[in-house]
């Protein structure tokens, strides 16, 4: 049953490729047929995003707010706010992020100003710059990257050693204590 008044069909104005309304009447457990593009459309029609897919902030976007949820996030533009995702976060070369981060994997090729509060793995690439503290299970740093802050990694019992990275010189000095 339609919730709108359908226009009367006239022989002089037929609809080119009318929409497929059968997909709305199909039972919930049957897959919906792929949507058909209209004749005027030249772009392909894509399927809706699946859970766990990747979200992308384009290089020419500036966004302020909060990112939360499941799935992977790739930032190529500028973002100000906290990021909390059950998935991977990639900060591309040229991107700038200001805020705290919680993610499964964090890859930094751009700039991050803020703490990585929890992650399974953090990778600071050659073009990456991090100003803030890191807490992760594993942490890899490429030659040429920059970091100012403290890093806690490799500890499973919650008693992490603290490593200071001094003013971007790439040298680490451990001052942690194990019990």
Give Cβ neighbours of residue 167 (< 8 Å, ≥ 6 apart).
148
Domain-by-domain residue ranges, the chain? 54-149
**Range in 13-17, 99-103, 169-173 the model is least confident about:** 169-173
CA angle 99-102-108, nearest 5°? Answer: 70
What span, in angstroms and rounded, lies between the C-alpha atoms of 68 and 76? Answer: 18
Whole-model pTM: value is 0.61
Q: What pLDDT band is residue 7 in, cutting at 50, 70 and 90? A: low
């Amino acid at each position: 049953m339609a919730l709108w008044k359908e226009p009367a069909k006239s022989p002089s104005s037929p609809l080119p490729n009318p929409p497929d309304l059968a997909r709305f009447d199909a039972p919930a457990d049957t897959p919906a047929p792929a949507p058909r593009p209209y004749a005027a459309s030249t772009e392909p029609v894509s399927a809706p995003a699946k859970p766990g897919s990747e979200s992308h902030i384009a290089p020419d976007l500036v966004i302020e707010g909060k990112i939360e949820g499941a799935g992977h996030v790739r930032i190529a533009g500028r973002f100000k706010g906290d990021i909390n995702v059950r998935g991977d976060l990639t900060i591309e070369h040229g991107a700038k992020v200001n805020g705290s981060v919680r993610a499964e994997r964090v890859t930094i090729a751009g700039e991050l100003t803020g703490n990585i509060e929890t992650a399974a793995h953090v990778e600071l690439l050659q073009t990456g710059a991090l100003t803030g503290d890191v807490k992760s299970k594993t942490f890899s740093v490429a030659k040429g990257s920059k970091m100012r802050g403290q890093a806690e990694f490799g500890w499973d019992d919650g008693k992490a050693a603290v490593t200071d990275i001094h003013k971007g010189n790439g040298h680490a000095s451990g001052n942690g204590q194990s019990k």
